[in-house]
Structure 1
Amino acid sequence: MADLKERLLPPKPASALNLRESSTRGRPPSFQGVDVLGLKKRGQGLRSWIRVDTSGNSEVIEVDKFTMMRRCDLPARDLRLLDPLFVYPSTILGREKAIVVNLEQIRCIITADEVLLLNSLDSYVLQYVVELQRRLAAAGVGEMWKSEHADLNRRRGSRSFDNVFGSTSPDYLPFEFRALEVALEAACTFLDSQAAELEIEAYPLLDELTSKISTLNLERVRRLKSRLVALTRRVQKVRDEIEQLMDDDGDMAEMYLTEKKRRMESLFYGDQSVTGFRSNDGALSISAPVSPVSSPPESRKLEKSLSIARSRHESMRSSESATESIEELEMLLEAYFVVIDSTLNKLTSLKEYIDDTEDFINIQLDNVRNQLIQFELLLTTATFVVAIFGVVAGIFGMNFSIPLFDDEGAFKWVLIITGVTGLAIFCAFVLFFKYRRLMPL
């Protein structure tokens, strides 16, 4: 096999061998065993995508990075947002020919003709494909029914159908808006389900913590709070992204891919029709263009009037369609902005409940700490009173003689007088503490 390979493959030039040996010698020892060219090829290798067209048909395709960049007219930094090896926050980008969507598990590229979704075993990705296919199928049936009834109403001369189904009805949105709506719905549903699970787990745990403060419950609450902070950050990023799109009319107009495609096609076919009209008229020809000096003034006037009329018509139509598309997309984004804002309010309420529970626990701990301080104060006072007995015992234990030692009842009177004196001193200290409000009344 090695001999056959040597006979079939051409010999490597000496310059390439010397270059490879010199590059290997120049590398550090830790990088000599690493195939850098292999790493580059693997980074530029094929990747599995799920393609869904406007009819709802899906297929799995293998496309490399550069082919995808040329196919969707996207820079490499936009495709980097969809790379599952990197963790990027939620982003919605409107480009010239595509919409780049990175919402939680949904990472896709939406064009006017197709949706390219990264192939994954995640259930949310499969649910996205199934839901998009279902809505496209329903929209296709609705459009057929609408066209049939539109023909019928046009024959009857009535406009009742247009009143029922307006041009801005959400059931007949452009393809890219339908795909974007399904992605927003999937992301909002996923985040809302996680928020609901967190609420179900959090409230019983917090109630248990208020009744029994233990190290285990505190550790569980700490983990719960860290999950809450991470989920709140993700929900806040999706909300900010939707709000940023709603505040910028230019970004929303850039995302109307179907209108831009139709405008480009109409402009292209309009130029062809005008060119054909000129060639059929005999004044101008595609193969032999006539110089403006030698052309008759009537043809120049006709050409100028046609170009001005076409430009005015295109500008008016583009401005009207841009306004309508902004309204459609703004209504769509506003609906899901309300949903994600409701999820954020849930998480905010849960965070406030956790903060209130922490404040309650801190108040309980402060109360216990104050009781310990009061007990320590009373114990210190009692220790001072007991020390008086030690002083008296030390005085009477000295080696000297006094007539009091000869009396048999003197010891009893010493104990009685010392005890009453200590009790009076202790009561005086307690009254002083209450007077200074160091102890509760």
Structure 2
Amino acid sequence: MPLWNTVRSRSVFFAKLSFKRSKLATNRFNSTSTAALLLQKNLALRNHALYNYENDTLRCTVLDSKGNMTTPSMEIKRDELISTHGLLPRDLRKIEKSRKNDLVPSLLVRENSILISLLTIRALVKCDAVILFDSMGISLESRAHTNFLTDLKARLRNQEGNGITKDPLPYEFRALESIFISALSNLGAEMKVHLTVTRGILQDLEYGITRDKLRFLLVQNKKLSIFHKKAALMGEMIDDLLQQDDELCEMYLTSKKAGKIRDKDDHAEIEMLLETYYSHVDEIVQTVRNMMTNVKTTEEIINIILDAHRNQLMLLGLRFSIGLLALGASIYVASLYGMNLENFLEEGNIGFPLITIACAFLMALIFAHSIRQLHRIQKMTLMGSQRSQLK
């Protein structure tokens, strides 16, 4: 009877243990599946933060003709956006596929709207409204986005003033001006950060060249190259737009809505506006290019210094080799007389000093001759080509 109770208690214990293990495995599986679902959802939201593929809508913010904001981050259907504002389906492709680090800017002029994608700003500008597409990675509460919205509202409302406070530019140009100002402000702030970090690395390299400093310089040089490409593409976009007179005339949306027909060369306002910002972008490009030139010059100087140190180490190794050669020659002579052979020198008293002096003289002669030949080779590498041309 006690044996039966013991067996029964053990079976109950193992049953409870297996139940706990199965329950623990189930909980782990549920937690893993939940984490996988959350990760998949976050990736979907990250990849499609602007364009909702399920509902075929885009998230955007609309400002009216008075600069007042309607419902922020509202959903607008893609088909409605295309039909209402006279767009083509391919025009929204860049907006739908927008990413945080989109380097290539674009400005498309349509019948009654202007679609612009500039750095982190993507907007549809009309003669009486501005539609801002909520770009990925830009929070509505971020400082840059808040400053941009504040400046955009102020510029759109500036038409209501009188006298000096009234902005003579039409609605669409004021919106474009605010977009360019925000983009250039962000571009200038990013440039200052890159220049400050690069100058710090270059100053540190003046006091010592280490592996970590060179690695930091390489990483910063790559960042400078990416930033230079971003600014250069922005300047190329503005420059290409300035070369197209018909596109500049089509950008007068207010005049087209009023029925005013403009001449092909009648686009002084928008041309002056774009030239102003092109000069600012070109200044940023030249500043970054000069810094990249300084980095390249520093890298060349570092390579020259490292080559010189490498050559010094090679010369030091050659001198040691020459010394060992001379010492080996003297040891060879001494070893011949150190054999147990009769050489008629051990009978006299001058044999040992004579052999010692002869070996030392032979070692010095070989060493001096080899060093002289090494110096001749060094001079030939520097001046030999010129002397051969003169001869």
Distance 1:144-1:430 versus aligned 2 partners, 3 A rule: closer
2:298 aligns to what? 357
**In structure 1, what residue type is equivalent to 2:58?**
R
2:110 aligns to what? 95
Q: Check conservation: 1:112, 1:176, Cα contact below 8 A.
A: yes
Q: How far apart are 1:43 and its partner, in Å?
A: 4.5
Q: Distance in 2 between matches of 1:42 and 1:347?
A: 39
Distance 1:127-1:396 versus aligned 2 partners, 3 A rule: same
Structure 2 segments unaligned to the other structure (5+ residues): 1-47, 383-391
Percent identical across equivalent pairs? 25
Query: Which of 243, 246, 249 is equivalent to 1:247?
Result: 243
Q: Check conservation: 1:56, 1:137, Cα contact below 8 A.
A: yes
Q: Distance in 1 between matches of 2:85 and 2:164?
A: 29
1:83 aligns to what? 96
Q: Check conservation: 1:105, 1:124, Cα contact below 8 A.
A: no
Q: How does 1:315-354 map to 2 (within 5 A)?
A: 318-320=261-263, 323-324=265-266, 326-354=267-295
2:159 aligns to what? 139
**In structure 1, what residue type is equivalent to 2:150?**
V
Mean Cα displacement is larger for which, 229-238 or 413-422?
Answer: 413-422
Distance 1:145-1:246 versus aligned 2 partners, 3 A rule: closer
Q: Distance in 2 between matches of 1:123 and 1:65?
A: 29
**In structure 2, what residue type is equivalent to 1:108?**
A
1:130 aligns to what? 150
Query: Which of 172, 180, 185 is equivalent to 1:189?
Result: 185
* Aligned residues between the structures: 325
Q: Check conservation: 1:386, 1:422, Cα contact below 8 A.
A: yes
Q: Check conservation: 1:53, 1:114, Cα contact below 8 A.
A: yes
Q: Distance in 1 between matches of 2:176 and 2:185?
A: 14
Q: TM-score with structure 1 length normalisation?
A: 0.69
Asked which structure has the greater RCO (Cα within 8 Å, sep 6+), the reply is 1
Q: How does 1:224-263 map to 2 (within 5 A)?
A: 224-263=220-259
1:386 aligns to what? 327
Matched, 1:73 2:86: yes
Q: Distance in 1 between matches of 2:195 and 2:112?
A: 41
Q: How does 1:385-424 map to 2 (within 5 A)?
A: 385-424=326-365
**In structure 1, what residue type is equivalent to 2:125?**
I
Distance 1:350-1:43 versus aligned 2 partners, 3 A rule: farther
1:47 match: secondary structure: strand
2:341 match: secondary structure: coil
1:332-370 deviation digits (Å, cap 9, x = unpaired): 000000100000011001100101100110110111011
Q: Check conservation: 2:64, 2:70, Cα contact below 8 A.
A: no
Q: Distance in 2 between matches of 1:45 and 1:333?
A: 35
1:295 aligns to what? none
1:313-350 deviation digits (Å, cap 9, x = unpaired): xxxx6234x543x1111000000001000000110011
Q: Check conservation: 1:128, 1:186, Cα contact below 8 A.
A: yes
1:2-48 deviation digits (Å, cap 9, x = unpaired): xxxxxxxxxxxxxxxxxxxxxxxxxxxxxxxxxxxxx9983443333
Matched, 1:58 2:1: no
Q: Check conservation: 2:103, 2:230, Cα contact below 8 A.
A: no
Q: How far apart are 1:131 and its partner, in Å?
A: 0.4
Q: Check conservation: 1:44, 1:65, Cα contact below 8 A.
A: no
Q: How far apart are 1:65 and its partner, in Å?
A: 1.1
Q: Distance in 2 between matches of 1:390 and 1:364?
A: 39
Distance 1:142-1:82 versus aligned 2 partners, 3 A rule: farther
2:371 aligns to what? 430
Q: Distance in 1 between matches of 2:230 and 2:54?
A: 28
Q: Check conservation: 1:210, 1:360, Cα contact below 8 A.
A: no
Q: How far apart are 1:213 and its partner, in Å?
A: 1.3
Q: Distance in 1 between matches of 2:159 and 2:86?
A: 28
Q: Check conservation: 1:246, 1:333, Cα contact below 8 A.
A: yes
Distance 1:328-1:144 versus aligned 2 partners, 3 A rule: closer
2:359 match: secondary structure: helix
Q: Check conservation: 1:236, 1:344, Cα contact below 8 A.
A: yes
Q: Check conservation: 1:143, 1:172, Cα contact below 8 A.
A: no
1:319 match: secondary structure: coil
2:63 match: secondary structure: strand
Q: How does 1:99-178 map to 2 (within 5 A)?
A: 99-119=114-134, 120-121=138-139, 122-142=142-162, 171-178=167-174
Structure with max Cα Rg: 1
Q: Distance in 2 between matches of 1:134 and 1:376?
A: 73
Q: TM-score with structure 2 length normalisation?
A: 0.77
1:33 aligns to what? none
1:155-187 deviation digits (Å, cap 9, x = unpaired): xxxxxxxxxxxxxxxx31111111111111111
1:209-267 deviation digits (Å, cap 9, x = unpaired): 2321111111111110111011011101100000000011011112111111111xxxx
Distance 1:180-1:43 versus aligned 2 partners, 3 A rule: farther
Matched, 1:47 2:53: no
Query: Which of 189, 194, 198 is equivalent to 2:194?
Result: 198
